[in-house]
Structure formats: structure tokens, C-alpha cells
Amino acid sequence: MKKTTAIIGALIITASAAYASMKMEEGFERITVFTSQTDKEGWTAVLKGKIVSYSSKDEFDQEDLIGSSQEKSKATVRLYNREGVSEGNILYVINDKNLIVAKMKVRTVFKTVSFGDMLVGYGNFRLGSVGDRVIQKAEDENAKYAYIYKARGDYYDNTGGEGEAIREYKEALKLDKNNPEAHLALGMIYLKQGLDQFAIKEFQESYRNMARLYDKSDKFQLLENMAQVRYREVYESFLPQKLKDKYRDEGKKYCGEALRINPASEKINYLLGVFHYRSPNPDDKIARDYFLKVIEINPLNADAFVSLAELYYRHENQGKARLYAEKALEADPTNPRAQKMVKYLDSKLEVK
């Protein structure tokens, strides 16, 4: 196993060493484009394809206030090569004078039998014409090499080299600053080191581009980590109450999104139970249901049992409080919350 890991790591390092020569290869024509008639310097772009048709968008963004079809708001592009182009990318349309006439956001990339690689993009193409060329900023095109540094970072992280992993992930982000996988990986290292503020910053950057995370497990891990950080900030810190209230709402939001990916998550159901139970305006019924779900998933979760005991005691139902406290101790005899709860209930019984 170690030999295989070493071989994979060596291949990754060899691939990244070849990066400098790779990026010098002219895979596409590079041209200078201009933002206006008076722009004398322009910037370097890579030719990616050409417009084959315009039409009206068949769906609308949430922030679209018009809510009706607009002419030339959807473009179909024939790609010369799809490498470095993916959903969410920003591309530009230029006329025969290399002047930018439109900006588009890639909606989908697909392959056809007749025309090969193509994409559909949304934007305002009022000044565009069929046959106009589509370009990508040269620095955006270089983002396709970020995966090499990300892979190197993964290798170092898996072999105990956190410092080297951080360096490689940061190199990946120099090439692709919005790379959600690199931000997630970097955040997870900071989380392991107990640097929650650095971790949440990286997680938030990954979250902004979560649509680019193809693996559902990565999306779930991101949301779970963000919820966990917010949980600690709300219940294990000395932050101002106003900030805790804000983070509690964010934690519940991340938990809700995570449950849509994995409804059977023990941790997420438990966090949601606590968020609802330990709140300035608690919803104990919802909290109870989440704690019961946790027990359904894992009948030995002592924290869920003791949370139910505390919840029922709050509603003066000492019978159920005692029942769940005892179940918590059965699940984990060393659980300090369960021990304290049983002792407290016993003392109340003695007073009576």
C-alpha cells in the first residue's frame, strides 16, 4: 500500500514539475482583445470557439426582475477545445476587430455527434453576431493546471506533510482562485489544527463555488464542516450574543443543506437538534424529533439521550427525563452530562 502511495505521489510530483513546459505549449491561439475603442493595451486571451446561434433564455435567475424572455440572452457556442471550460466559467464574445461585445456565464458544456464539443451560455448579446469568436482570459485558461498542485497537496496531506500540503493548495489557488476543492482541502487542514477562523474563511470560499464540486461527498463534507465551526462559535466561545444568533442561523442553514444530501447523518441531525433546543427562542418539538432521529440512526448516542432527558425535564416530565438519562448512561457510563443529569434527578427525588 505504501509502495503504491509512493508511486502515485512520484507521478504527481513529476506531472507538476512538467507544468512550466506544459503551459508554454500553445494549445489555442492567443490574441490581444480590447474592452473599448479607446483601449490601447488590451489583455491576452485564448480563443475557445465561435457563436453558432442566439436565442432567448429558457430559465431565469432568481435575481432576474424582468421574468420574461429577452432576445439574444442565450448563446450556443461551438468549441475548438473544451479543456479549461466548465459550468460557471466566464467567457467573452469579440467581434472582427477583437473588441469585446458581450460577457457570458457558461450554463452547460456538452458534446454532439455532428459538431463536437459545444456550450450554452447566458448573457446580454445585443451587440453580438453569429460567427463572433468566444475567448477566455489567459489567466483563467491556466486554471486547468491547478489540479496538479491540488493533487500534490492531497499526496502530502495523506502522508503527514501538512506544511507542504498547505503550500501546494495555495499554489493551486494562485492558478484558480475560486477552486472549491483546494479551498475545502485547505480549510480541513486548518480545522484539524484548531484554526477555526482560517478554516471557515476557506470553507466560505469553497461554498461560493460549490456547484463546481462534482462529488456529493465533498459537498456534504463542506457543509458539515461549516455547520461544526458555527456550532462551536455559538456554544463554545465568548462571542457577542448578536454574532452567536447570526452564526446559529447560518449553522441551521448549512445543516439543512447537508441533510438534503445525506438525511441519515447522525452528526447533522444532532447539531440541528441542539441548534433548535439551545436557542433564545427554542423549538423543543423540532429538537426532540432530531434527537429521536439520531437515536434511530445510532441507538448508542449518549449525547442524544441526555439531550432528550434535559428537554423533558425542562417541560417538567421527570419520568421521561429519568428514562432517557438512564439510557444515556447505558450507552456510555462515563458520559459526564448523563452522570450529572441522573445525580440531579436523584437529588430532586430525595427532596420530595
206, 227 in Cβ contact below 8 A? no
Over 70: is that where the pLDDT of 11 sits?
A: no
Over 70: is that where the pLDDT of 15 sits?
A: no
Residue 344 has a pLDDT of 87
Percentage of the chain lying above the pLDDT 90 cut: 68
Residue 3 has a pLDDT of 47
Tally of domains in the chain: 1
Whether 11 maps to a domain, the answer reads no
pLDDT in tens, 45-70: 889 999 999 998 766 554 444 444 46
297, 314 in Cβ contact below 8 A? no
Give every CB contact of residue 189 below 8 A, 6+ residues apart in sequence. Answer: 157, 162, 165, 166, 169
Percentage of the chain lying above the pLDDT 70 cut: 86
Tell whether pTM > 0.95.
no
If you average pLDDT over each of 16-20, 134-138, 277-281, which comes out highest? Answer: 277-281
- Which is more confidently placed, 58 or 131? 131
Over 60: is that where the pLDDT of 149 sits?
A: yes
Whether 161 maps to a domain, the answer reads no
Q: What CATH code is carried by the domain that includes residue 47?
A: 2.40.10.230
Whether 37 maps to a domain, the answer reads yes
- Rounded-to-integer distance, Cα 349 and Cα 352, Å: 5
Whether 93 maps to a domain, the answer reads yes
Lowest-pLDDT range of 127-141, 220-234, 264-278:
127-141
Whether 76 maps to a domain, the answer reads yes
Residue 70 has a pLDDT of 65
Tell me the three-class secondary structure of the chain, residue by residue: CHHHHHHHHHHHHHHHHCHHHHCCCCCCCEEEEECCCCCCCCEEEEEEEEEEEEECCCCCCCCCCCCCCCCCCEEEEEECCCCCCCCCCEEEEECCCCEEEEEEEEEEEEEECCCEEEEEEEECCCCCCCCCEEEEEHHHHHHHHHHHHHHHHHHHHHCCCHHHHHHHHHHHHHHCCCCHHHHHHHHHHHHHCCCHHHHHHHHHHHHHCHHHCCCHHHHHHHHHHHHHHHHHHHHCCCCCHHHHHHHHHHHHHHHHHHHHHCCCCHHHHHHHHHHHHCCCCCCHHHHHHHHHHHHHHCCCCHHHHHHHHHHHHHCCCHHHHHHHHHHHHHHCCCCHHHHHHHHHHHHHHHHC
Domain span at residue 75 reads: 30-58+70-138
Over 50: is that where the pLDDT of 24 sits?
A: no
Whether 271 maps to a domain, the answer reads no
Residue 19 has a pLDDT of 43
pLDDT in tens, 194-249: 999 999 999 999 999 888 787 899 999 999 999 999 999 999 999 999 999 999 99
Whether 132 maps to a domain, the answer reads yes
Long-range CB contacts for residues 346-350, cutoff 8 Å, separation at least 24: 348/318
Whether 143 maps to a domain, the answer reads no
pLDDT in tens, 291-345: 999 999 999 999 999 999 999 999 999 899 999 999 999 999 999 999 999 888 8
